[in-house]
């Protein structure tokens, strides 16, 4: 089956970026001139997917506003003759078919993905955490979709992590299948370096079969009362194979302040209008 839909869980509090996220959704924090969630949507489009369900919560109306038409702004830009900007803001509303799903209570990533069940139906789908920017060609989601088409089973994105990363991410027990593909034999959520199965971390991109929803429903909450998607994937492992793909490209953890700064600088250096001036600024600061 082809992957036609994607779910973006965007209902979290964004505590790593407090105090700004007290009144501003973390997904709307901008890297250069686009919010994080815009990068996520572009990645999905790069996989040929145009139906996108965004799981939100109270106080996240800015997400819906961003992807909606703004007649007043469009008329203002038209009157000012700013037709390039007019085309850009129109494209934001038209680039995908958006569905917004309200999560009534923050109960973990697994529960947030479960909120997309009605939208997804009985078909495979991609799931992406908007904290991450993946700078990849082809897009990270396209790499996962291609692997799913080949394997016919759930595929999760993997990256090499250090000892500190084992405290932040799920870690798999792998069986290597090919150069970048591993069968997942087991996995643990944030096990720490002493209990980690490997240096392969699960980094916020998935293509699931629809059986993940039943697995989530049968997954008990953790000590904090949250349903972790890592634990749900362990339940799924009892019923069908799961694969991990070591992605090709660059990932920025923009839920982390340092990762956010890295993304801003490195992606700006790829923009022709900023590249030379930014290099000169960095050189001046390094000498100063």
pLDDT of residue 192: 95
Percent of the chain with pLDDT over 70: 100
Q: What's the pLDDT tens digit per position in 98-134?
A: 999 999 888 999 999 999 999 999 999 999 999 999 9
- So what's the pLDDT on residue 23? 86
pLDDT, average across residues 93-101:
95
Average pLDDT over the chain reads 94
| Pick from 259, 36, 231: nearest CA to 165 | 259
Instruction: Answer yes or no: is pLDDT of 81 > 80.
Output: yes
Please state the rounded mean pLDDT for residues 77-95. Answer: 93
Question: Which tens digit of pLDDT belongs to each residue from 159-186?
Answer: 999 999 999 999 999 999 999 999 999 9
| Domain-embedded: residue 270 | no
Q: Is residue 15 situated within a structural domain?
A: yes
- Label residue 221 by pLDDT band (50, 70, 90): very high
Tens-place pLDDT, residues 10-65: 988 888 888 888 889 999 999 999 999 999 999 999 999 999 999 998 888 999 99
- Asked whether residue 265 is domain-assigned, the answer is no
Res 287: pLDDT:
87
Packing angle of the helix pair 83-94, 71-79 (nearest 10 deg): 160
Flag whether 271 is in a domain. Answer: no
Residue range 86-99: mean pLDDT, rounded: 94
Give me the half-sphere count of Cα atoms (radius 13 Å) on the Cβ side of residue 269: 9
In a domain, 276, yes or no: no
**Which pLDDT belongs to residue 11?**
86
Note the pLDDT tens digit of each residue in 252-261.
999 899 999 9
Q: What is the pLDDT of residue 112?
A: 96
pLDDT at position 67, please?
95
Whole-structure pTM value: 0.94
The answer for residues whose C-beta is within 8 angstroms of residue 288's C-beta and 6 or more apart is: none
* Cβ-contact 201, 129 below 8 angstroms: no
Q: Is the pLDDT of residue 136 over 90?
A: yes
Total number of domains constituting the chain: 1
Domain that holds residue 79: 5-255
Angle at 139 between CA 259 and CA 156, to 5 degrees: 80
pLDDT of 66:
95
Domain of 156, CATH number, reads 3.90.550.10
- Structure confidence at residue 1 as a pLDDT band (50, 70, 90): confident
Q: What is the pLDDT of residue 18?
A: 86
Contacts 24+ apart (CB under 8 A), 184-188: 184/156, 184/233, 184/237, 184/241, 184/242, 184/243, 184/244, 185/237, 186/234, 186/237, 187/230, 187/233, 187/234, 187/237, 188/230
Residue 287 is assigned to a structural domain of this protein: no
Residue 213 belongs to some domain of the structure: yes
Instruction: Tell me whether residue 53 is in a domain.
Output: yes
| pLDDT band at residue 262 using 50, 70 and 90 as cut-offs | very high
């Amino acid at each position: 089956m082809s992957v036609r839909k994607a779910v973006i869980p965007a209902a979290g509090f964004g505590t790593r970026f407090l105090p700004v996220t007290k009144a501003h959704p973390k997904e709307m924090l901008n890297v250069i001139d686009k919010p994080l969630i815009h990068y996520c949507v572009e990645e999905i489009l790069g996989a040929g997917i145009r139906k996108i369900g965004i799981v939100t919560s109270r106080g996240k109306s800015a997400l819906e506003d961003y992807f909606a038409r703004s007649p007043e702004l469009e008329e203002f830009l038209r009157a000012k003759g700013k037709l390039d900007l007019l085309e850009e803001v129109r494209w934001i509303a038209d680039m995908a078919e958006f569905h917004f799903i309200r999560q009534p209570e923050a109960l973990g990533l697994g529960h947030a993905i479960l909120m997309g069940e009605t939208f997804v139906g009985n078909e495979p789908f991609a799931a992406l955490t908007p904290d991450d920017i993946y700078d990849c060609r082809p897009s990270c989601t396209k790499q996962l979709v291609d692997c799913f088409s080949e394997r016919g089973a759930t595929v999760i994105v993997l990256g090499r992590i250090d000892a500190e990363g084992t405290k932040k991410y799920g870690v798999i027990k792998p069986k290597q299948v090919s150069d970048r593909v591993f069968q997942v034999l087991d996995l643990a959520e944030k096990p720490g370096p002493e209990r980690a199965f490997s240096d392969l971390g699960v980094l916020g991109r998935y293509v699931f079969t629809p059986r993940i929803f039943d697995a989530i429903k049968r997954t008990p909450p953790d000590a904090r009362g949250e349903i972790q998607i890592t634990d749900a994937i362990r339940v799924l492992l009892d019923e069908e194979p799961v694969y991990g793909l070591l992605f090709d490209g660059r990932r920025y953890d923009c839920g982390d302040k340092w990762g956010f700064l890295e993304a801003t600088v490195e992606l700006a250096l790829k923009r022709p209008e900023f590249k030379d001036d930014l290099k000169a600024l960095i050189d001046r600061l390094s000498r100063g």
